[in-house]
């Protein structure tokens, strides 16, 4: 059984492979389909974008696909960067330290200091245009007073997780997956596929 993990983000792919490792499913990455251009993520919610990406890749490859859309919601910034997390700050802020600087500056301007925040992950499993399964995961925390840690990726260094008194970038990969938004959503998919393997056509 094959399942296309439809993400261009290598860090996500590594985390997802770790979570799904014990299932007898061949997980194929998008590097197997280099000719397919990325879709525009035009949805206004994480769930819409996850569905859009999964259907886009599954209909072009003929393989069942799972896609996820994720991001950081900062309450002190009205939920920003949200669905715009990957491109927050525009092309001049392609590097994450620049995105962090923008966030700290905007939080200071609003006197919002160490705002509460959460990571959200929505995933969609599809076969062609047909939706098979959806799941969502969230992790609650705060914006750290300064970036810390060099594990993980993206916004992990500025996401302080109170139960561990560390940022997500200071947790090991397995430890992060055990508590993270993506870990929660993909464990739900894992449990669904363990019970319903027949939805992935051989």
Describe the chain by its helix, strand, coil percentages, rounded to 5.
Answer: 45, 25, 30
Based on the residue annotation, tell me whether 69 is a catalytic residue of this protein: yes
Among 73, 80, 134, 156, binds ligand ITT (CB under 6 A): 156
Q: Is 7 in the site for ligand ITT (CB under 6 A)?
A: yes
Which residue has the CB atom at the shortest distance from ligand ITT? 154
Between CA 183 and CA 146 the distance in angstroms is 25
Between CA 74 and CA 81 the distance in angstroms is 7
Are β-strands 26-28 and 2-5 bridged in parallel, bridged antiparallel, or unpaired?
parallel
- Which residue carries 């007073």 as its tokens? 145
Phi, psi of 152 (to 5 degrees): 60, -145
Question: Which one of 64-72, 126-134, 142-150, 190-198 is the stretch in contact with ligand ITT (CB under 6 A)?
Answer: 64-72
Q: Is 85 in the site for ligand ITT (CB under 6 A)?
A: yes
CB of 202 to ligand ITT, least distance (A): 26
Between CA 148 and CA 158 the distance in angstroms is 7
43-62 residues near ligand ITT, rule: CB under 6 A: 53
Among 1, 2, 9, 89, binds ligand ITT (CB under 6 A): 9
Binding site for ligand ITT (CB under 6 A): 7-9, 12, 41, 53, 69-72, 85-86, 119, 152-156, 180, 182
Q: Which of the residues are catalytic? A: 69
């Amino acid at each position: 059984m094959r399942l296309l993990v439809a993400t261009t983000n290598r860090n996500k792919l590594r985390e997802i492979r770790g979570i799904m490792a014990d299932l007898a499913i061949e997980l194929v990455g998008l590097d197997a389909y280099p000719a397919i251009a990325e879709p525009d993520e035009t949805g206004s919610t994480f769930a819409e974008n996850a569905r859009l990406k999964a259907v886009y890749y599954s209909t072009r490859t003929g393989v069942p696909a799972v896609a996820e859309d994720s991001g950081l919601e900062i309450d002190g910034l009205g939920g920003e960067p949200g669905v715009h997390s990957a491109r927050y700050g525009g092309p001049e802020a392609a590097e994450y330290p620049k995105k962090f600087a923008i966030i700290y500056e905007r939080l200071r301007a609003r006197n919002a200091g160490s705002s509460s925040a959460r990571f959200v992950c929505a995933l969609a499993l599809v076969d062609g245009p047909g939706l098979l399964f959806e799941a969502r995961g969230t992790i609650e925390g705060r914006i750290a007073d300064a970036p810390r840690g060099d594990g993980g990726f993206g916004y992990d260094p500025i996401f302080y997780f109170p139960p561990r008194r560390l940022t997500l970038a200071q947790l090991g990969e397995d430890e992060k997956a055990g508590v993270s938004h993506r870990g929660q959503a993909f464990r739900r998919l894992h449990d669904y596929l363990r019970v319903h393997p027949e939805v992935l056509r051989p």
